[in-house]
Structure 1
Amino acid sequence: MSKTKPAETPLMQQHKAIKAKYPDAVLLFRVGDFYETFGPDAIIASQVLGITLTRRNNGGASDSELAGFPHHALDTYLHKLVKAGYRVAICDQLEDPKTVKGIVKRGVTEMVTPGTATNDKLLDFNSNNFLAAVHIQNDRYGLSFLDISTGEFLIAEGDREYADKLLMGFKPAEVIFQRHHQRRFKEEFGSRFYTYTLDEWIFSRQYAEESLLKHFDTHSLKGFGIEGSDQGVVAAGAILHYLKETEHPNLQHITSIQHLVQTDHLWMDRFTIRNLELIHKSSEG
């Protein structure tokens, strides 16, 4: 006579449902005063963070790996996970447990990736933390760069050599591009970047323009001087989509977008000047 599999607890059913929405992220699941990780996430957390890995029967066919840490240590551990190249979904309690009978409602309040970090402890104040998008269309490359912490938003367009030059110069913390171009991207730009791929439909001119118009609350992109860079606009639209997908709704500080003109030195000079200004300010203070 076969043994009946123990039923999953309501807590683990809730965790399973939320994890299914973020399968490629380490899910930090708030339980009381702790953030817990389960299964494969717990193994990663234990290895990267150096915290104890245990096994606990949480309901289900077998025991599950478990690793957790106090909620007040989130910034410290989040920094380590992101710097190790992991996407992290932070799942918080959306109700006061004291006022709820049964399971507490939970949901992901923020997704943190190498290119979307806004927490001061995750950033280096001596350099930008750019998220880049690359749109490949035949032999043309549209690029967009956004530093979500400062609001700097840029687009460019050119051939493969120019795209490589920009990626080398900006050194983005994360690059997003079309999923079906994974092999081509690796062949042309190598494996030196943290990358994430998105569905093809996201990289459409119409969708990108609609996203940009909505974000900037305007009826035309002409005032930004970017309407002639179709591939760059598509890349910028992909960035806005990605920010929405990763639970970053507060983007009011991103108030403009600039077009990088394809010259040999102009884009380099801009960042050289900016760095010199930072050095000058630090010497004064």
Structure 2
Amino acid sequence: MKQYNSIKAKYPDALLLFRVGDFYETFGEDAVRASKILDIVLTKRGAGSASETALAGFPHHSLNTYLPKLVKAGLRVAICDQLEDPKLTKTIVKRGVTELITPGVAFNDEVLQSKSNNFLCAVHFGLQRIGIAFLDISTGEFLTTQGDESLIDKLLQNFSPSEILISKPKKKSFADAFGDAHHTFYLEDWAYQIDFSREILTRHFQTQSLKGFGIESLEEGIVASGAILHYLSETQHHRLQHISAIHRIPEEEYVWMDRFTMRNLELYFTPHPGGTTLLDVMDKTITPMGARMLKRWIAMPLKHIKKIERRLNVVAHFLASEIELQTVRKQLKQTGDLERLLSKAATAKISPREVYQLYLSLES
């Protein structure tokens, strides 16, 4: 247990899945939680001895079955694998955490919802403004802005992040401003420094500055964005080539609705059992990418008439040309979720079946 305890000490806030032979095992409090969530047998290791501890586990090939249940329960899960072949060593097998999966950082299809983004968010409280950043690691979409408390609250409602990163000293400030209903995780304050954030962002994008992305002047937004990349590094996510740009959220281009307006309009959530939302009525999309885009359009209505007319002109074109509409829909039906397939390929998390699906999508 010495090896397990040393690794667990590095990830005290996560449930540690410890690879032992053909099983992933959990111990102590982790075992108790895992057995309840996964409905697996809870036993004891070293029963009757001074080192007696709770134990629960499952076969390693069942990881994709059990992992989503743990993440959906709101847990951070550290996967500790064997880093060498047990047959080639006469001592204890070397082990280490190869990935830390959290509600906001996931690629597993059973964790993700195909028609919704899975945003990881970071919030930074500056002296006068609040910075915010959103990243969907499953698609590579990276966005940031800054503003007052009212704007940030509206953004949180619109983007509905699965996990929010906050500086530890700002825990109370966040709860006072935005409530305690969000799933949050607290980082050390040094990760929220402007110089650190600029350096980590320019290193990732391999640029000299952030001017090309249009966010150079958004210091609070830059700090929040840097905190996200730092968190990805801390959770052992190093293959991030698919995150190739960061965009400013142009708040002046959209109508921003507060939480009460969105709830009362029942745009994509209804408090009534069996109720129907506006999204339910409008969603005739063929692909997951289109479904995610439509949800964004409903949550963030355009403000400028020229852009509205341009969008309506496209709709009018297809309504006037039924043959062309059906041709495009037929092509789209053959297209998989290219955004997420390409992200899986870039991060080396793509399965053989998904490679073939990607091939068919590109061929179509």
Give the TM-score, by structure 2 length.
0.71
Tell me whether 1:152 sits opposite 2:171 in the alignment: no
Tell me whether 1:34 sits opposite 2:54 in the alignment: no
Consecutive unaligned residues of structure 2, counting only runs of 5 or more, are 258-289, 298-324, 334-364
Number of aligned residue pairs: 271
- Larger strand fraction of residues: 1
Structure 2 counterpart SS, 1:228? coil
Taking structure 1 as reference, are residues 272 and 266 closer, same or farther at Cα in structure 2, changes over 3 Å only? farther
Query: Which residue of 2 is the match for residue 254 of structure 1?
Result: 243
Taking structure 1 as reference, are residues 277 and 64 closer, same or farther at Cα in structure 2, changes over 3 Å only? closer
1:120 deviation in Å? Answer: 2.1
Tell me whether 1:275 sits opposite 2:264 in the alignment: no
Query: Which residue of 1 is the match for residue 97 of structure 2?
Result: 108
Tell me whether 1:191 sits opposite 2:180 in the alignment: yes
1:172 deviation in Å? Answer: 0.2
Amino acid across the alignment from 2:293: R
Tell me whether 1:164 sits opposite 2:153 in the alignment: yes
Is the contact made by 2:120 and 2:163 (CA closer than 8 Å) also made in structure 1?
Answer: yes
Identity %: 55
Matches of 2:86 and 2:256, distance apart in 1: 52
Structure 1 counterpart SS, 2:18? strand
Amino acid across the alignment from 2:158: G
Matches of 2:17 and 2:220, distance apart in 1: 36
Is the contact made by 2:115 and 2:292 (CA closer than 8 Å) also made in structure 1?
Answer: no
1:267 deviation in Å? Answer: 7.6
State the Cα deviation string for residues 131-159 of structure 1 (Å, max 9, x = none).
00000113411000000010000001000
Q: Which moved more, 1:49-58 or 1:212-221?
A: 49-58
Query: Which residue of 1 is the match for residue 352 of structure 2?
Result: none
Query: Which residue of 2 is the match for residue 25 of structure 1?
Result: 14
Query: Which residue of 1 is the match for residue 220 of structure 2?
Result: 231
1:59 deviation in Å? Answer: 10
Matches of 2:49 and 2:166, distance apart in 1: 38
**Structure with the larger RCO, 1 or 2 (CA within 8 Å, 6+ apart):** 1
Is the contact made by 2:119 and 2:135 (CA closer than 8 Å) also made in structure 1?
Answer: yes
Query: Which residue of 1 is the match for residue 84 of structure 2?
Result: 95
Give the TM-score, by structure 1 length.
0.90
Query: Which residue of 1 is the match for residue 285 of structure 2?
Result: none
State the Cα deviation string for residues 44-80 of structure 1 (Å, max 9, x = none).
1011110010112189733000000000110111100
1:128 deviation in Å? Answer: 0.3
Taking structure 1 as reference, are residues 244 and 60 closer, same or farther at Cα in structure 2, changes over 3 Å only? farther
Alignment RMSD (CA, Å): 2.3
Is the contact made by 2:121 and 2:135 (CA closer than 8 Å) also made in structure 1?
Answer: yes
Taking structure 1 as reference, are residues 282 and 75 closer, same or farther at Cα in structure 2, changes over 3 Å only? farther
Query: Which residue of 2 is the match for residue 5 of structure 1?
Result: none
Taking structure 1 as reference, are residues 140 and 69 closer, same or farther at Cα in structure 2, changes over 3 Å only? same
List 4+ stretches of structure 1 deviating above 4 A.
Answer: 280-284
Is the contact made by 2:214 and 2:248 (CA closer than 8 Å) also made in structure 1?
Answer: yes
Query: Which residue of 2 is the match for residue 70 of structure 1?
Result: 59
